[in-house]
Structure 1
């Protein structure tokens, strides 16, 4: 089996969609179909079950994926290391992160370190009140950020993961006894104010200013860090809309997380300053793209997987 055919098989096994596989590998959908058909003829059995609604691995296909994955990653890793060594990729990469993003990015960072052991990688926390400042001043080279990012001088890379949004309240808040809330309920809350230079559109993506029906959502004290948000929630009745890393990493006595059932998932990506793009930045972005499968094992959901689950009939979820 040729390396490219192995790559097509493993990508389809992850995406479970012929169109997305073709788009991700920059080939035609016919090329994907031909490669899978050739593999199935050679093996003598089906690797995927196809219907008009979904594509799933057969038991034989699942076993083949397990057998091929580790070897493929070693081959790709060896080739990438050799090419980067030949190109002389060295130096320092400063990675900007929000809160606990370093935990979420561990598979990416480990892969990057394995491939570029001579490169120095450091972490720098980015504040929510100035999300793009460290990039523009050169304090960091590439960073995580929730979407959308609509800055003309910044490049937006791959969506690394996405997850459900929750409302964080104290355990004596009027909504604390609910199992879940809706966006319309936010008009009965006071949300934190994130000051400039954080752009209005960027703040609104997480902390909306109006409910879907147009009711205003009150604002409380200004905050610049997540720890400040927690302090106000615990002591002043403030509520806060948070990403999936809130309940995952910030379980605290007196804090309750309520799923927001009609909120779109929060999406995170890598961003960098277009004019300052380096080979090291591109190398870290490639590592992020290739480590998507490992993120799933941490309890994170890459974007394609979440879209796939949402598109299935209710009875299949």
Structure 2
């Protein structure tokens, strides 16, 4: 038995639904189901009765819930108090960031901190984490700020929108669709589609998949590529189409690629995650990140301009 298994058990006991419990914990339903199954194997008995329509506690599950609820919550309270003390003593603000957003925003934040005319910013330290990891780290107090794409959160977390951006089609410059000012979703039918992994941000991936399904495309046909750099290379060499927020072209330029808006439009946001009780230093850095995000430009590349001029 471990803390993660207990956490999953209590969430399912509260929700009586594995999907809702997974959403509450920022985990996949499969992960929650396996954690509960492992706990049941360790105990040697069933804690939940499951049917296709409902989930209920077994008598043993109800007894176990009564016995573990208060000790578990006492442990969480002790952890929260220790985290609060650690945050007060920590000499720097920890900014957890996804790979691309770290490359996109943090150098400008560092430059702003070093500008003599700008107000002094708190000392900060970057830590690479994907979105679901950021949510858990900020909630636990091991990170002060999360920097990620679109995310839904629940108290004690809050999400601050730094900038709204469209999701674009990433195309080879000589692709016929690159001649269009706007690419219709339906015109992607039959094309090989690439995205960064769903595990990096299930909410953003889900938004794109819904838009694809509404346009008559099969979301299951989208292939996941681990990094944007690899995604761009495969598009450039394989005549494929990528789906990615607009800043991709600005931060990871590759000659011969262009971005085009999609119709119907699909949106994404750059978000900063904090706790609701975030301190002044973290709030000051969120304000600075918002200013940095709003000042970003992703101008057309020289290849893009030449391609348009040749039409």
Task: Provide the TM-score with structure 2 as the length reference.
Answer: 0.52
Q: How does 1:239-254 map to 2 (within 5 A)?
A: 239-254=241-256
Pick from 121, 127, 146 the counterpart of residue 149 of structure 2.
146
In structure 2, what is the equivalent of residue 93 of structure 1? Answer: 93
Q: How does 1:68-217 map to 2 (within 5 A)?
A: 91-98=91-98, 99-104=100-105, 115-116=119-120, 119-126=122-129, 130-137=130-137, 140-147=143-150, 149-152=151-154, 155-171=157-173, 173=175, 175-192=177-194, 194-195=196-197, 197-198=199-200, 200-206=202-208, 208=210, 210-217=212-219
C-alpha separation in 2, matches of 1:194 and 1:298: 22
The equivalent of 2:240 in structure 1 is: 238
The one-character-per-residue Cα deviations of 1:162-182 (angstroms, maximum 9, x if unpaired) are: 233321022454534433202
> In the alignment, is the contact (CA less than 8 A) between 2:193 and 2:241 conserved in 1?
yes
| Aligned equivalent of 1:285 | 286
Match of 2:268 among 266, 269, 277: 266
For residues 222 and 146 of structure 1, the distance between their equivalents in structure 2, rounded to whole angstroms, comes to: 17
Structure 1 residues 168 and 209 mapped into 2: Cα distance closer, same or farther (>3 Å)? same
Kindly indicate whether the alpha-carbon contact (under 8 Å) linking 1:168 and 1:242 is maintained by their aligned counterparts in 2. yes
* Structure 1 unaligned spans of 5+: 1-87, 301-317
In structure 2, C-alpha distance between the alignment counterparts of 1:287 and 1:240, rounded to whole Å: 31
Aligned residues: 204
With over 3 angstroms needed to count, the CA separation of the structure-2 counterparts of 1:213 and 1:286, relative to structure 1, is closer
8 Å CA contact 1:135, 1:141 repeated in 2:
no
Contact residue 233 and residue 240 of structure 1 kept, 8 A: yes
**Which structure is higher in helix share?**
2
- In structure 2, what is the Cα distance between the partners aligned to 1:210 and 1:184? 8
**Structure 2: segments with no counterpart, 5+ residues:** 1-87, 299-311
Structure 1 residues 188 and 165: alpha-carbon distance in aligned structure 2, compared to 1, 3 A threshold: same
Which residue is equivalent to 1:299?
Answer: 297
CA distance in 2 between counterparts of 1:161 and 1:242 reads: 15
CA distance in 2, matches of 1:174, 1:161: 31
